[in-house]
Amino acid sequence: MTPLATPDQVAEYLGVTVKTLTQWRYLGQGPVWHKVGGKYCRYKWSEVEKWLAERAIDTT
């Protein structure tokens, strides 16, 4: 099983700040996330990859 990612890890991977990732969660625009232990935000890497792939732009 692949470990869940923290907001710090996902923000670094996407090249954005944790604040941006937090704003995306608030607006419902970012990758799917999970509330773990009642207060911790975690991401599945597969869902981060899926979210990113859905935003691919082909200009050709």
Number of domains in the chain: 1
pTM of whole model > 0.95? no
Asked if residue 23 is part of any domain, the answer here is yes
Asked if residue 41 is part of any domain, the answer here is yes
Among 20, 1, 6, which residue's Cα sits nearest to residue 48? 6
Asked if residue 45 is part of any domain, the answer here is yes
Dist CA 4 CA 20 (whole Å): 19
Per the structure, the complete domain to which residue 44 belongs is given by: 7-54
10-residue averages of pLDDT along the chain (60 residues): 94 98 96 95 97 90
Asked if residue 27 is part of any domain, the answer here is yes
Asked if residue 60 is part of any domain, the answer here is no
Asked if residue 48 is part of any domain, the answer here is yes
Tell me which residue has tokens 């944790």: 18
Asked if residue 40 is part of any domain, the answer here is yes
Asked if residue 13 is part of any domain, the answer here is yes
